[in-house]
Structures are given as C-alpha cells and as structure tokens.
Structure 1
Amino acid sequence: MYEIRLNKIKQWLKRHKFDGILISSPENRRYLSGYTPQDVSITESAGFLLITTSEAFILTDPRYQEEAQNLSLFEPVIYRKGLARALSSLAERLKIKGLLYEENYLSCGRLKALKKVLPKVEFSGVSGVIEKWREVKDQEEMRLLEKARELALEIFRILSKEIQPGRTEKEIAWRITELSHRLGEGPSFPPIVASGPNAARPHAEPEDKPLRSGEVVIVDLGVKYRGYCSDLTRTFFLGRVPERLREAHHLVKEAQRLAQPHMKPGLKIREADRKVRAFFQKAGVLQNYLHSLGHGLGLAVHEAPAVSFRSRRKFKVGQVVTLEPGLYFPGLGGVREEEMVFIR
C-alpha cells in the first residue's frame, strides 16, 4: 500500500519536473509512509518526509528515531541541530535545485530558516495534491472508517443510559474521551457536549453547566481507529423540551432523508446541500441553518470534499462524507443529527 503511494508521488514529481517535495502535514506524512507520531504543534514537528524522484527520507529528531527506523521504504535521517541543517546536507548530496513544500502546513518561520541555509534551492509552495488522493479511499481505508463509526455508535449506546439531569457537560465530555481511548485510539476531536441555550452554538465547548430536565443536549463525537476518524452527532431530549425544538428535530431528520438520495457517485455535491436549503427555506428556518451539510472524513476529521452548495465537484466512489443538517435558535438551543455516508 505505502509502496504504491510512494511510487505515485515519485511519478508525479517526474511528470511535473520537480526535484523533490517536503511533506510536513501529519496526515499526508502518515498516508505516504505509515509514520504514526503526531506533531506537538506547528512549531514542534514529529518529522518530515523528503521525497525525490528516486529516493525517500524521514527526517526527525532522536525522540522518534525508533519509529523512523521502522519505516522500510524511507531512509531515516536523525537530526540534532534542526531540520534546516539536515535538509541542507541532503539537498547538496542529492543535487536538489528546486523543492516543493506544503504551503498550508509549513510555518513562515521554518520556511525562512530553510531558505537561509539553502540559498541556491528554489522553494515553491504547493497544496491539495496529496489531499486529493486521500479523498478516494481504498477498500482497507473504507473498512477502517466503518470500524471507527462502529466504535462511535457504541459510545452513543453507552451514553444513552448516562446522559441524565445533574451530570455536567464536562463530565459527559470526559466520559467520551475515556471511552474513545478504551475502545479505539482516542477521540477524533475534542467532543462537543452542548445543553440548553449552549446547543445554539454549533461548536460549543463543554462547560461545568449541569444538564437540566426540559433541555436538549447535542453530543458530537468521533473515535480514531488506526488513524482514521469517525464523526457522528446525536441530539438527546431530557424530558419534555420546547415544542420549537421538537419541530426542528423533525425537520432535521427529514432533511437528512431528502439529502441522502443525492449523495451518490457522479451526482453534483452541491445538490445535496441545495435540497436541504430549499426544504429549510420552505419551512421558514433557513436562517437557523448555520453551516454546510457536511465534509469529508479520513485521516483528518475534516478533509475534502466539502459538502456545500458552493461546491463545483461531483461525488466519487470511495469518498466518505458526513451528512449533518442542524438548526440553531439563540437563547433556546439547537438540534443536529450527523451520519457518515460511504459513497459506493
């Protein structure tokens, strides 16, 4: 699998007449090599891939040398004086005159340092190349995503008995994190637990607020399984909630039903979101629909394609996307339901 992907990027470099590419995105790095360590931050990387038309290297510091040495397709380069010096030596050895870098992932400070020690190398930014390949999953990736979804569903099954008045949002969020590590590799993202008026904020952060009878609770969670991310949302009713929110929940479920037939190979992505928007417009709640219909899933929890009325693309076999209509009412609350859709 990794050999095929590595050869693909090498052939791409040959076709476009580039000497090499520096990979700094954690997801692209894992996709091409299987290297699993995660970056601490944008200024503290777990490693970089340098790929030329004929060779491949993993550059990292001594903290990750064992992981690097386990990559059979990549020659490890362990640096102790920073990436720039290590890359300088390699560029001279490989006679690199032009080097691509991922402009969405390499910081301006790091790029400045690289240019300083490599004044004769021409640097060019690139974006979206590997991300486009990652969009279409192979059978193994689809299997891993299906497993990640199953784990998320199991957590919801457990939570359905535990989400009760008196528990706080933070307690439920911590429980999700605990279960994500017990069942999988941890959460795909910090879980969202939003109750009462907080549910009017699509990406609300959990608070010490207790759950109360008569409130709606939105829970948005995902689990990582062998690097692949699930993402599901459920709305819970604690007793009798305002009729406005019950009606909104019915509309959201109906919007999902209407959109599903439009998420098939060859169909325009924008049509699914447009159908939902037209339905919400007719129901008089379009102003309460604050985001697009969904997004792609894979090694990252948010990746291409965006499922939006602005999209000019079509669904492809092998894509995995979310279907997540939601309606939000300031001061009252909100509802959202999210499913994963496997395009086959």
Structure 2
Amino acid sequence: MFEKRIGELRKLMTEKGMDAVLLVGDCNRNYLSGFTGNESFSVITNDKAFFITDSRFTEQARQQVKDYEVVQYNKGTSFHDFLGELVKNNNIKKLGFEEDIISVATYNIYKSKVQCELVPMEGMVEKIRLVKDESELQLIKKAAEIADKAFDHMLKFIKVGMTEREIGLELEFYMKKLGASDLSFPSIVASGVRSSLPHGEATEKVVNKGEFLTLDYGCIYKGYCSDMTRTIVIGEPSEKMIEVYNVVLEAQERALKAYKPEVPAIEVDGVARGYITEKGYGDYFGHSLGHGVGRQIHEAPVVGYRNAQKLKSGMVVTDEPGIYIPGFGGVRIEDLLVITESGSEVLSKSTKKLICID
C-alpha cells in the first residue's frame, strides 16, 4: 500500500524534475509511511526513502515503517545540519518541500544549510490523497459509524436546561468511548439564536424550549476523520422553524443526487444554492456546500461556487447546506459521502427528519 503511494509520488517528482522531497508535516509523512507518531521527517528520492527521527520514536518507527531506511539523528545535532549531509551524500540537486507547512524562518535556515535548489511541492501528496483506497474508506466508514452512534446517544442524553458545553463534553466522551482517538475538530454545539453561527462552538448557554440546536461534529479513527451535522429542535418548533428546516433538507437531498463522478464541484454546489435562493434564503447561505474529508477534516476538493474541479470515484466529501438568520437561528444538515462509479454512497446513516426533544 505505502509502496504504491510512494510510487505515485515519484511519478510526480519526475514530472517536476525533483531529485527528492522532504516531508515534515504529520499528515503527508504518515500517509506515505504508516507511522502514527510525530516530530519525525522523511526524505524520498527516486530510488530511496529515509525516515528520520530521534531516540524517542526510533523503536516505534522501526516497528511501523517498512518501506524506508529508518535513521536516528542525535538530538545534539541540528536536523538542518543532518539534512544538509543527507542531501550532499545522495547527490540531491533539487529538493521539494511543503511550502504550506514550513515557515519562512525555517525555509531560510534550510537555504543556509542545504546546498541544493528548494522547490515548492504545490500539493503533490495532497493530489494523491484526493482519491481514497479501500483501506482508507473502511477507516472513514468506521469513523462515520461512531458519529452515527453518538447521535443516537445524544438524542437520549439532551435535556432542557443543559448547557451547550455539557452536551459537547458528553459527545466527545461518548465517541472516545466507542474507539475514537480524538475529535475531528472542536464540536459545534449552538442553540437558539447562536445556531445562526456556522461555527458556533459550545458555550455555557442553556438550551431552552422553542430553540434549534445544531450539532456539527466528527471523530478521528486510526488517523481518518468523520464529519456530520444534524439540527434538532428543543420543544415544539414554530412554523418558521419548520419552513427553514425543510428548505435546507430539500436542498441537501437534491445535492446528494448531483454528487457523481466527472461532475464539476461548482455544479453540485449550484444545485443546493439554487434551491435555497429560489426559496428566498440565498442571502443566508454563505459558505461552500462541502469539502473533502480524509486524514484532515478539511481537504480537497472544495465543493463550492468557485471550484470547477471534477469529482472522481473514491473522493470522500460532505454535503452540508445551511441557512443562518441572525437573531432567529440557523439550520445545517450534513452527510459524509463517497463518490462511486455511478453516483455516491452516503456514509452518515442518522435520520434527517426533524426531531423534537421535550
């Protein structure tokens, strides 16, 4: 599996005339190696792969990383000096680096220590990560399953008078109890007028009857994320609340049918956005319809009104339209799905019917 991924990277390296690439970010490095730790580096050339770490992670690396030469460097030695020697000894003339991860200060140190041309990778590994293989899909499906089970649990747990923070903490605890290693992102728990905040993290606000409660959350399972949003009502909804909810639900389900391979992302976004606009709420839907999910909670492709990139089978994306009305509240409904050869498979199984909790 990792050998295949490295092979794909080497093809891109050849196209760009790179002799090697340096990976310092946990996400890309671990994707190409299987390592689950941090504070390590990898250098991949056209015929070799070096995994560089210190004594804290050497044993772990030797157990987990099979397609690399594991090299331990002395903590008394600067990694930059070590890298300079490795570049020299392997006759590397053109070295790719992750320009969106390495700071300007670190880049300047590299320039002074590494005697070769430094070239931005421009998302080379991210391009490989766009389409998930079967092993990745199984882990994402498990993460989505945990999120679904957590929603069922929360429907029994949530009561009038609880704070958003209490709800968020229980949500986190329950997903970790089911095997999640962490949250995909800080859970969004927003009630009442705060539900008009697309990223309203939990506060000490008490949930009351007659309010929306939006739960947007996910978990990490063995390095892969899930993402799901459901909006429920505490008590009885008003006619306006029902109307807004139904508009979002219809937009979300129309978009689901549009998720197919070779369809430009902008077209899928337009299906949901067009319907919401038609119903008079276009000004209250400002964000993109969706985004890629994998080792990171937000990754390519962006399913939005500025991205003409075509969807491919194996991409994992979200479908999450919303309406956010200041002073009133908001609704977002989000499913996680994988693009298939003929359409899409929805990974989020939780009901989307309007649920009211007494």
Fold shared by both chains (TM-score > 0.5)? yes
Task: Determine what percentage of the aligned residue pairs are the same residue.
Answer: 38
Partner of 2:127: 132
Of residues 285, 292, 296, the one that matches 2:292 is: 296
Query: 1:73 and 2:67 equivalent?
Result: yes
Contact 1:148–1:225 (CA<8 Å) still a contact in 2?
yes
Partner of 1:220: 216
The residue type equivalent to 1:74 in the other structure is Y
TM superposition score normalised by structure 2: 0.90
Query: 1:162 and 2:157 equivalent?
Result: yes
Query: 1:108 and 2:101 equivalent?
Result: no
Partner of 2:13: 13
Report how many residues are paired: 336
The superposition leaves residues 194-233 of structure 1 with CA deviations (integer Å, 9 ceiling, x where unpaired) of 1111111101121111111111110011111221111000
Partner of 1:313: 309
Q: Where in structure 1 are there 5+ consecutive unaligned residues?
A: 39-45
Give the 5 Å matches for 1:1-344. Answer: 1-38=1-38, 46-70=39-63, 71-79=65-73, 80=75, 81-118=77-114, 120-183=115-178, 184-344=180-340
Contact 2:17–2:94 (CA<8 Å) still a contact in 1?
no
Distance 1:109 1:77, change over 3 A: farther
Contact 2:196–2:326 (CA<8 Å) still a contact in 1?
yes
Q: Where in structure 2 are there 5+ consecutive unaligned residues?
A: 341-358
CA RMSD, 1 decimal:
1.4
Task: Give the whole-Å Cα distance in 2 for the aligned partners of 1:220 and 1:36.
Answer: 26
Q: CA deviation at 1:63?
A: 2.5
3-state SS, counterpart of residue 287 of structure 1: helix
Moved more, 304-313 or 230-239: 304-313
Moved more, 283-292 or 122-131: 122-131
3-state SS, counterpart of residue 317 of structure 2: strand
Task: Give the whole-Å Cα distance in 1 for the aligned partners of 2:256 and 2:321.
Answer: 11
TM superposition score normalised by structure 1: 0.94
3-state SS, counterpart of residue 57 of structure 2: helix
Contact 1:59–1:83 (CA<8 Å) still a contact in 2?
no
Q: CA deviation at 1:321?
A: 0.6
Task: Give the whole-Å Cα distance in 1 for the aligned partners of 2:294 and 2:314.
Answer: 11
Q: CA deviation at 1:5?
A: 1.0
3-state SS, counterpart of residue 229 of structure 2: strand
Moved more, 198-207 or 177-186: 177-186
Task: Give the whole-Å Cα distance in 2 for the aligned partners of 1:113 and 1:12.
Answer: 26
